[in-house]
């Protein structure tokens, strides 16, 4: 788990430094386009984490694996945070470029729905007392909500939106300068690694909470003095 953070942080720092200092100014948007280096990786993460959550929720529902329930449920907070970050940075970018903080555009609206789905999953999980049935109910909600993921992704192609189309394409040429792509890719990888580290950290704590009455938790905790910190 510390390795994921350890790998993410240098990449993150390099990406942020390059994004803020290394890359040249955009010829149309000036310096404001630097928000892209936060906005786009965050948006990718908002969809990626939803996908991870759904895969785990599916495994939890079909095979009743307790660890998958925890993994699915503890993906949600960081997913919601990235979705919120996407919306906020989009807003901060929209104000100087489009002249508005918010518009009911297909991309923006579907991303907002994604945020509500995350919050719904978290709320439902918190609302039911029995942890396991809570995870199953919330996982079911997450799976139903997965219909929104392709809508977010393709919204810029299906509808005429104010939001621009994809600049980075997995297949075919990207319409972006290579020097600008490098920090973007670095930040995209760094956020993914960070998410893995964070998910493991959150799930470990949740596992301890779930098993709090059991012997192994007590014995391993008795051996760690509070200042020793890290190990459970």
Partner 1 sequence: MGADVFGKYQASGGRIRMSEWFDMGKYGLYVWSSYGLFVLMLIWDLLWPWWKGRSLRQQLLHRARREQARQQSSTELPLP
Pick one of 11, 38, 53, 108: the residue that binds partner 1 (CB under 8 A).
38
The answer to the question of residue 93 lying near partner 1 (CB under 8 A) is yes
d(CA 83, CA 37): 15
DSSP annotation of 84 reads H
The answer to the question of residue 172 lying near partner 1 (CB under 8 A) is no
The answer to the question of residue 16 lying near partner 1 (CB under 8 A) is yes
Part in contact with partner 1 (CB under 8 A); list of ranges 113-121, 143-151, 155-163, 207-215: 207-215
Part in contact with partner 1 (CB under 8 A); list of ranges 34-42, 115-123, 133-141, 173-181: 34-42
The answer to the question of residue 153 lying near partner 1 (CB under 8 A) is no
Q: Where are the alpha helices (DSSP H) in the chain?
A: 2-17, 36-63, 66-98, 106-127, 131-145, 148-158, 178-210, 215-223
In the complex, least distance from residue 46 CB atom to partner 1, rounded to whole angstroms: 12
The answer to the question of residue 194 lying near partner 1 (CB under 8 A) is yes
The answer to the question of residue 115 lying near partner 1 (CB under 8 A) is no
Give whichever of 61 and 197 is closer to partner 1, judged by the CB atom.
197
Instruction: Return the bridge partners of 26, or none.
Output: 30
User: Taking Cα atoms as reference points, which of 63, 56, 57, 74 lies closest to residue 209?
Assistant: 74
User: Could you give phi then psi for residue 43, rounded to 5 degrees?
Assistant: -65, -40
Quickly count: other Cβ atoms within 10 Å of residue 20's Cβ. 12
d(CA 74, CA 121): 10
In the complex, least distance from residue 182 CB atom to partner 1, rounded to whole angstroms: 17
The answer to the question of residue 50 lying near partner 1 (CB under 8 A) is no
d(CA 16, CA 41): 12
User: Could you give phi then psi for residue 32, rounded to 5 degrees?
Assistant: -65, -25
Q: Which of residues 211-230 bind partner 1 (CB under 8 A)?
A: 212, 217-218, 221-222, 224, 226
User: Could you give phi then psi for residue 26, rounded to 5 degrees?
Assistant: -75, 140
DSSP annotation of 100 reads -
d(CA 203, CA 219): 20
The answer to the question of residue 20 lying near partner 1 (CB under 8 A) is yes
Part in contact with partner 1 (CB under 8 A); list of ranges 58-66, 87-95, 110-118, 167-175: 87-95
Q: Which of residues 120-139 bind partner 1 (CB under 8 A)?
A: none
Binding site for partner 1 (CB under 8 A): 5, 12, 16, 20-21, 24-25, 30-32, 34-35, 38-39, 42, 77-78, 81-82, 85, 88-89, 92-93, 95-96, 194, 198, 201-202, 204-205, 208-209, 212, 217-218, 221-222, 224, 226, 232
């Amino acid at each position: 788990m510390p390795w994921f953070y350890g790998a993410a942080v240098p990449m993150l720092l390099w990406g942020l430094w390059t994004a803020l200092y290394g890359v040249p100014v955009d010829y149309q948007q000036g310096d404001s386009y630097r928000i892209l280096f936060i906005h786009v990786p965050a948006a990718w993460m908002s969809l990626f984490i939803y996908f991870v959550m759904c895969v785990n929720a599916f495994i939890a529902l079909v095979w009743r694996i307790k660890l998958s329930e925890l993994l699915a449920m503890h993906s949600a907070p960081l997913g919601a945070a990235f979705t919120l970050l996407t919306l906020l940075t989009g807003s901060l970018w929209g104000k100087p470029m489009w002249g508005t903080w918010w518009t009911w555009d297909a991309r923006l609206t579907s991303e907002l729905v994604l945020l509500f789905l995350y919050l719904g999953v978290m709320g439902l999980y918190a609302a039911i007392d029995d942890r396991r049935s809570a995870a199953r109910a919330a996982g079911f909600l997450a799976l139903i909500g997965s219909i929104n993921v392709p809508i977010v992704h393709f919204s810029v192609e299906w509808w005429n939106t104010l939001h621009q189309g994809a600049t980075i394409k997995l297949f075919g040429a990207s319409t972006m300068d290579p020097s600008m792509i490098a920090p973007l890719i670095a930040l995209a990888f760094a956020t993914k690694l960070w998410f893995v580290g964070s998910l493991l950290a959150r799930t470990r704590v949740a596992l301890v909470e779930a098993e709090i009455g059991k012997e192994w938790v007590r014995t391993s905790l008795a051996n760690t003095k509070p200042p020793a910190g890290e190990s459970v």
